[in-house]
Structure 1
């Protein structure tokens, strides 16, 4: 079974390498060819909202009559989702390393299969069918998935590896990935897919002049409010609220229109009104007058809104809020 370490985020370098917010490739990216996987050593596995990789060293016991053998090989996966589309791929590699035993495996092959569920369909490239189990052979191919959902579909992704040779007893084995959710619920963006079990992070920087005052407010609020809402490590994640009426009500409670705004300032609330920890829900909150332009910028497509859309954070989805230097 493909067991990803849930919550183990990729490093910044790995994110850059794997193009994790995977939209359509540019012509230059396509010409450059595939990028290296961040999962290099057997036993490594990582994932985030739109990418997962895994590399496993396997031993396949083989029986032919009274003879026995043991085949060692590596299977690897690089699953690349698309937050702007519902077709996604898994780059699969099968590499045979060694064989020990007196059972003949001259005709042994392994076929890779892939399945998904709900409105998802899948197919496997021919290069992964009937792979000769010859030491030194390395087969590379893709499993390709397409989800036709018009609303939302969470799909189990399963892989099968089936050995075939007349007279040979070698049990098939299976692997799976974290479930994939495809949806068409974000207006004006179209459908796309993510790993919903990965909790993404919205990041603000104290040294970013475009949002510095908002970042300081969030840092202070996370420190002072009971439970440290949204802060990874000692707090709990925030949850998205997509109902605009509720958002307006939270905003009005935290930042009443009657509260005077100094020139050039606007009222910033935390937790954000677009969360289920917003002021309407009755939990602790903080409000502060901050630079109006910075406040507006922090909520736009380059910051909070962009985090929501690129990670396809739907209603009730969790996310963290991080303030860095």
Structure 2
């Protein structure tokens, strides 16, 4: 015989910092007014657990009444990574185990798992910026921005390349970083191995040579009017484009990407997107 039913909305939030070995997982539970009977007299509390290269740094989810409805009950937990040695990288998976108790009934429980967090000390230093440990959501494609007002020829090439169907413009079709030097060399050779000699201009390839999306993955070379590259226009997600762009824009791109890979902790096979402003 059912003597009551509890309905709740669950809100799960994780937050980390690219420059810190600490991250947190917050759970919020709010009862819905359609709940009824003895279940609305329940109290709840929670405990946290973690698996992987991390340890729990503290948590709080005190015993709280599930009612009145539309009142958020919060649990907060923190963790630190153990992937701190130079070159280390590791995943941490976390849960909140929430237990519901009503006098006279057997307690009930649910487990609320959160997306994995990856922490590492693998990106090295960048210019005057130090080697440091940090944590990110590994599946999230972080955006790197190309400014049309600062680097117009670079931005124009990327805009045309993405419009032709090459990936990297959306989170559903990102680029994937490569740290394999052989892949980078192959991408550069096939896209820009024999560019024309034009004073003040360099050959730019898209997708970037430092990704697994370039010509090393197959497809053919394409280009666009005004790019001074002998290749058909082409379309679709496979292949790469090449364009002669201003030398200053080409050099700026190298700095933009080095800084982006460092600050956003983009490792081998990590997704990212290129956004043209």
Residue number in structure 1 paired with 2:4: 69
Matched, 1:316 2:269: yes
Give the 3 Å change call, closer, same or farther, for CA 211–168 of structure 1 in structure 2: same
Shift of 1:166: 4.9
Alpha-carbon distance in 2 for matches of 1:97, 1:171:
18
Pick aligned residue for 1:177 from 109, 114, 117: 114
SS at match of 2:79: strand
Shift of 1:77: 2.9
Task: Decide which moves more: 136-145 or 287-296.
Answer: 136-145
Pick aligned residue for 1:92 from 17, 22, 27: 27
Q: Residues 46 and 75 of structure 2 are in contact (CA less than 8 Å); yes or no, is this contact kept in structure 1? A: no
SS at match of 1:172: strand
What RMSD in Å do the two structures reach over aligned CA positions? Answer: 3.1
SS at match of 2:260: helix
Unmatched 5+ residue regions in structure 2?
126-130, 220-238
Q: Residues 261 and 289 of structure 1 are in contact (CA less than 8 Å); yes or no, is this contact kept in structure 2? A: no
Residue number in structure 1 paired with 2:154: 214
Give the 3 Å change call, closer, same or farther, for CA 147–244 of structure 1 in structure 2: same
Residue number in structure 2 paired with 1:230: 168
Matched, 1:193 2:148: no
Question: Which structure ranks higher in relative contact order (CA pairs < 8 Å, sequence separation ≥ 6)?
Answer: 2
Shift of 1:263: 2.8
Residue number in structure 2 paired with 1:52: none
Deviations 1:22-43 (A, max 9, x none): xxxxxxxxxxxxxxxxxxxxxx
SS at match of 1:241: coil
Unmatched 5+ residue regions in structure 1?
1-65
Residue number in structure 1 paired with 2:234: none
Aligned length: 248
Deviations 1:132-159 (A, max 9, x none): 4452765445210111113121222221
Alpha-carbon distance in 1 for matches of 2:115, 2:90:
14
Alpha-carbon distance in 1 for matches of 2:103, 2:53:
36
Alpha-carbon distance in 2 for matches of 1:112, 1:123:
15
Pick aligned residue for 1:118 from 52, 55, 66: 52
Residue number in structure 1 paired with 2:227: none
Matched, 1:278 2:223: no
Give the 3 Å change call, closer, same or farther, for CA 287–171 of structure 1 in structure 2: same
Shift of 1:210: 1.4
Deviations 1:256-306 (A, max 9, x none): 4x7454332222122211112334555433322211111121232xx3334
Alpha-carbon distance in 2 for matches of 1:196, 1:125:
24
Q: Residues 70 and 100 of structure 1 are in contact (CA less than 8 Å); yes or no, is this contact kept in structure 2? A: yes
Give the TM-score taking structure 2 as reference length: 0.74
Pick aligned residue for 1:265 from 180, 187, 201: 201
Q: Residues 178 and 197 of structure 1 are in contact (CA less than 8 Å); yes or no, is this contact kept in structure 2? A: no
Q: Residues 177 and 268 of structure 2 are in contact (CA less than 8 Å); yes or no, is this contact kept in structure 1? A: yes
Pick aligned residue for 1:161 from 88, 91, 98: 98
Give the 3 Å change call, closer, same or farther, for CA 318–166 of structure 1 in structure 2: same
Shift of 1:161: 0.6
Pick aligned residue for 1:289 from 240, 244, 254: 244
Q: Residues 206 and 242 of structure 2 are in contact (CA less than 8 Å); yes or no, is this contact kept in structure 1? A: yes
SS at match of 1:117: strand
Q: Residues 166 and 240 of structure 2 are in contact (CA less than 8 Å); yes or no, is this contact kept in structure 1? A: no
Shift of 1:74: 4.3
